[in-house]
């Protein structure tokens, strides 16, 4: 969003407009692992608000599944990576607010399937593992994909990317950071131009 809003502060203001326009009985949901979102949570006067975080969550990843603790139980999801556990925790908070029980929530998690092109696992005919994360090209998205790729034993690891786009004035700096991070995870990088 930086190309349109220019600063993170402007993005926070625009997102907070959603909260300000909720009805009095509306629900505001915040990712407390994100500094900006946590600031908005603390500022929010909404009586119904939920904050969620990975801080107390034990997570194990493999190339096929992610396991995490929820309500004291070990739960399995086919969604890959820590960031998807964070997304699930946000949904869990909403589900509880709507009256679902812990048992109902845990039973529902296996039915959550990956969205195409968002850390989607594809096994090629030669058994190569392809992680399709083509939809994401933002800072948090590439960090999550890199962390997940780092956790896998498969080698060699090849990154195919157009780089980060639509970041306005910070685009060159963020792409430089991404390249440095990629060098610690991948054996090869192929930069493509999708325009």
Q: Model confidence at 194, in pLDDT bands (50, 70, 90)? A: low
Instruction: Give the CA distances from residue 110 to residues 66, 79, 175, in Å, rounded to whole numbers and listed in that order.
Output: 11, 9, 35
Q: What pLDDT was estimated at residue 169? A: 79
Find the mean pLDDT for residues 165-177.
82
Q: Is the pLDDT of residue 123 over 90?
A: no
Q: What pLDDT was estimated at residue 52? A: 97
Task: Please write the tens of the pLDDT for every residue from 83-105.
Answer: 899 999 999 999 999 999 999 99
Q: Is the pLDDT of residue 173 over 60?
A: yes
Q: Model confidence at 29, in pLDDT bands (50, 70, 90)? A: very high
Task: Please write the tens of the pLDDT for every residue from 141-166.
Answer: 788 888 888 888 877 888 888 888 77
Neighbours of 112 (CB within 10 A): 14
Three-state SS at 167:
coil
Q: Is the pLDDT of residue 27 over 60?
A: yes
Average pLDDT over the chain reads: 87
Q: Model confidence at 5, in pLDDT bands (50, 70, 90)? A: low
Q: What pLDDT was estimated at residue 195? A: 55
Let me know: does 36 contact 44? Beta carbons within 8 Å: no
Q: Which of 58, 121, 39, 150 is nearest to 30 (CA)?
A: 39
């Amino acid at each position: 969003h930086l190309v349109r809003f220019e600063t993170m502060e402007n993005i926070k203001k625009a997102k907070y407009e959603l909260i300000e326009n909720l009805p009095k009985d509306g629900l505001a949901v915040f990712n407390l692992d994100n500094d900006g979102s946590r600031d908005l949570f603390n500022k929010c006067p909404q009586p119904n608000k939920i904050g969620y975080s990975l801080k107390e969550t034990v997570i194990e990843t493999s190339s096929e599944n992610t396991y995490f603790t929820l309500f004291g139980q070990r739960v399995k999801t086919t969604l890959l990576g820590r960031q998807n556990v964070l997304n699930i925790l946000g949904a869990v908070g909403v589900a509880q607010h709507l009256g679902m029980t812990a048992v109902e929530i845990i039973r529902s998690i296996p039915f959550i399937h990956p969205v195409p092109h968002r850390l989607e696992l594809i096994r090629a005919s030669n058994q190569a593992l392809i992680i399709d994360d083509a939809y994401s090209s933002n800072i948090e998205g590439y960090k999550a994909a890199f962390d997940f790729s780092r956790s896998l034993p498969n080698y060699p690891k090849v990154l195919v990317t157009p780089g980060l786009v639509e970041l306005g004035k910070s685009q060159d700096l963020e792409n430089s950071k991404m390249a440095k991070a990629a060098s610690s995870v991948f054996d090869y990088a192929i930069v493509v131009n999708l325009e």
